[in-house]
């Protein structure tokens, strides 16, 4: 078996074993129906199956359609994109778990899956390019013509801007331990509840370009605070997914056509993933109806 | 990086300045009163089709020092089955939605429920053992045209404990296009007799449908009063009635 196929098999099997083996969320009673369709309780696997199917389909469609538009094979892009989408689901599932480092591990697994979708869309071999998200930056790993790997770090401009905001905002403080565990910058309030400046919807947290702000109100209790943090970790993986598969290719395409843009694209990512979520969020009448919120709420319940 | 070298840093500065001006507002949290009792609000519905359906909310609240109370055993035990919370909301409010199948006909077994246990609460978790009415007729009965309709029930197989503070019942007989309704408070009578002249006209297949709804409710607050359970229970019994001509 060729090395890359062997690696693919091991990676896929490992991811699914990981997804199945992880413990149920804290406070949940195993084997209880916790998915509700049309007011009827269903076993929990139906919700996971829905999320898995949606991610697989999204990956397959992205891989297939983009490769077709580039003059490649829809079937090849669809198949490899489906695998990448399924692994992205595993990343979200792991990121939502309640153990230390779950966010970091889940984010890497999710980025690996999204990288497969991106490779499928671009028509390049599945394991010739990887993206490793590290806080407000990413390490792009690419196999060169001589089969050796080349490394290119990039700084995420929007994530950096949100970190600067978190540092200068007096009502927020940086949580180093949670950041290390989540693999992303985490800021917390001191006994304050956050709301959007333009509205008055008070929330447990926000995720913007992989930077999380949490309303840390101790009286809400640990189960709720853990749930809110888990919810935002799923959003981090979702933002990576949308960035790597949809917005980054467009950003790179645009930057390669403006003066000096090629050099900027080499060292920096703009990251419009959160903005894309914000724009499409307007299509839904309430926040709860947004598919990415439903997924995050379900996985972090 | 040539001409674009300063652009990324300018972008970060501009974005940061923009974000800090119009991002988030920070508010003081609103809390339940410190020292207020734990509250369990429960709605139960008993039907032949779906057994015992539960919808409940547990609000552990804050202790005297203003700290969130810890839920020791977060399951509600309904008819002997453990029901865990479907989700945990702000302020540790636990939401329960589930159903438990009945092992026997409605009313043969009591509806039992034990509340979750909360740490450092002195009152015992409220419990109920309520007997709901039992239909004594088969699910389909035949009535001669022009005769009174008689529905027979066993109001309570044994005494409910603790006794519900509120009991109401109503019977609804549905025909082709009209509905007859009667009801009262108190224990449902063992025999509900509906005179023939009040019965609605049957449908084209000479059939009527009667639904008896019995509502029981009670507020339990065992001493010393730091745990309160508000329990509502609806039972629905159905008769299919064939008019014999």
To the nearest whole Å, the CA of A159 is away from the closest chain B CA by: 9
Q: Is the peptide bond before B162 cis (omega within 30 degrees of 0)?
A: yes
To the nearest whole Å, the CA of B18 is away from the closest chain A CA by: 9
Q: Which residue does chain B place closest to A263, by CA atoms?
A: B1
Q: B42-51: per-residue pLDDT in tens?
A: 999 999 888 9
By the CB < 8 Å criterion, does B11 face chain A?
yes
Would the CB atoms of B75 and A213 count as touching at under 8 Å? no
Q: At which residue do the structure tokens 């403006």 appear? A: A258
Q: B132-156: per-residue pLDDT in tens?
A: 999 999 999 999 999 999 999 999 9
> Taking CB atoms and an 8 Å cutoff, what residues of chain A touch B54?
none
Helices (H), A70-212: 74-95, 102-122, 157-168, 176-182
Pick from A220, A254, A261 the residue to mutate for testing the B interface (most B CBs within 10 Å).
A220
Would the CB atoms of B86 and A267 count as touching at under 8 Å? no
Q: Could you give the CA distance from residue B89 to residue A301 in angstroms, rounded to a whole number?
A: 10
What is the number of residues in chain B? 245
Measured from the Cβ of residue B152, the count of other Cβ atoms closer than 10 Å reads 15
The partner residue sitting opposite B24, judged by closest CB among A36, A206, A301, is: A206
Lowest mean pLDDT across A56-70, A103-117, A227-241, B51-65: B51-65
Would the CB atoms of A223 and B88 count as touching at under 8 Å? yes
Lowest mean pLDDT across A114-123, A246-255, B132-141: A246-255
Q: Is B185 exposed, middle or buried (0-12, 13-18, 19+ CB in 10 A)?
A: exposed
CB pairs under 8 A between A and B: 129
Q: List Cβ neighbours of B91 (8 Å cut-off, separation of 6 or more).
A: A219, A220, A221, A224, B31, B32, B59, B61, B68
Phi, psi of A9 (to 5 degrees): -65, -45
Q: Could you give the CA distance from residue A62 to residue A50 in angstroms, rounded to a whole number?
A: 18
Query: Residue B23: which of A105, A171, A43 has the closest Cα?
Result: A171
Q: Is A76 exposed, middle or buried (0-12, 13-18, 19+ CB in 10 A)?
A: middle
Measured from the Cβ of residue B206, the count of other Cβ atoms closer than 10 Å reads 16
Q: B187-211: per-residue pLDDT in tens?
A: 999 999 999 999 999 999 999 999 9
Please say whether the beta carbons of A195 and A201 come within 8 A: yes
**Model pLDDT, residue B44:** 96
Distances, alpha carbon B69 to alpha carbons A142, A216, A290, B59, B163, in Å:
52, 17, 32, 9, 29
Q: Please tell me whether residue A256 adopts helix, strand or coil conformation.
A: coil
Q: Supply A241's token pair.
A: 């997914």
Please say whether the beta carbons of A268 and A252 come within 8 A: no
């Amino acid at each position: 078996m060729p090395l890359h196929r062997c690696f693919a098999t091991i990676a896929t099997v490992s991811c699914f074993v990981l997804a199945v083996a992880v413990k149920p969320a804290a406070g949940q009673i195993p084997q209880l129906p916790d998915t509700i369709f049309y007011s009827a309780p269903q076993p929990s696997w139906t919700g996971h199956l829905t999320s898995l199917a949606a991610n697989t389909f999204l990956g397959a469609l992205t891989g297939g359609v983009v490769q077709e538009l580039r003059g490649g094979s829809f079937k090849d892009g669809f198949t490899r994109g489906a695998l990448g989408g399924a692994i992205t689901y595993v990343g979200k599932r792991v990121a939502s778990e309640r153990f230390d480092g779950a966010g970091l591990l889940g984010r890497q697994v999710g980025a690996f899956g999204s990288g497969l979708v991106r490779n499928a869309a671009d028509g390049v071999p599945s394991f010739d390019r990887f993206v490793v998200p590290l806080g407000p930056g990413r390490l792009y790993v690419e196999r060169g013509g001589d089969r050796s790997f080349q490394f290119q770090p990039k700084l995420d401009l929007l994530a950096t801007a949100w970190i600067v905001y978190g540092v200068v905002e007096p009502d927020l403080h940086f949580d180093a331990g949670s950041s290390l565990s989540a693999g992303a910058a985490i800021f917390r309030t001191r006994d304050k509840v956050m709301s959007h400046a333009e509205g008055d919807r008070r929330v447990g947290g926000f995720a913007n370009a992989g930077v999380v702000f949490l309303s840390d109100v101790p009286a809400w209790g640990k189960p709720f605070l853990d749930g809110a943090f888990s919810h935002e970790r799923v959003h981090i993986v979702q933002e990576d997914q949308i960035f790597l598969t949809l917005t980054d290719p467009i950003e790179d395409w645009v930057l390669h056509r403006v003066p000096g843009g090629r050099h900027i694209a080499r060292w920096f990512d703009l990251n419009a993933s959160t903005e894309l979520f914000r724009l499409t969020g307007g299509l839904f009448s309430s926040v709860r109806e947004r598919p990415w919120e439903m997924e995050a709420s379900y996985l972090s319940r | 990086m040539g001409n674009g070298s300063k652009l990324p840093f300018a972008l970060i500065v501009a974005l940061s300045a923009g974000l800090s001006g119009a991002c988030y507002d920070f508010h003081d949290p609103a809390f339940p009163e410190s020292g207020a009792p734990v509250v369990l609000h429960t709605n139960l519905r008993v039907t032949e089709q779906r057994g015992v359906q539960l919808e409940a909310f547990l609000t552990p609240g804050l202790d005297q020092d203003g700290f969130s109370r810890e839920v020791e055993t977060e399951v509600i035990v309904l008819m002997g089955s453990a029901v865990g919370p479907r989700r945990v909301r702000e302020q540790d409010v636990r939401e329960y939605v589930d159903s438990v199948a009945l092992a026997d006909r409605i009313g043969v077994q009591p509806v039992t429920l034990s509340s979750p246990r909360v740490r450092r609460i002195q009152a015992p978790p409220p419990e109920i053992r309520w007997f709901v009415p039992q239909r004594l007729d088969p699910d389909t009965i035949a009535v001669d045209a022009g005769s009174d309709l008689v529905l027979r029930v066993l109001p309570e197989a044994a005494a409910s404990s603790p006794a519900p503070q509120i009991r109401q019942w109503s019977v609804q007989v549905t025909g082709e296009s009209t509905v007859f309704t009667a009801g009262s408070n108190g224990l449902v009578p063992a025999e509900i007799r509906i005179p023939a002249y009040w019965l609605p006209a049957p449908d084209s297949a000479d059939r009527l449908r009667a639904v008896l709804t019995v509502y029981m409710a009670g507020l339990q607050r065992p001493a010393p009063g730091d745990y309160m359970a508000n329990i509502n229970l609806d039972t629905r019994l159905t008769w299919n009635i064939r008019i014999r001509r």
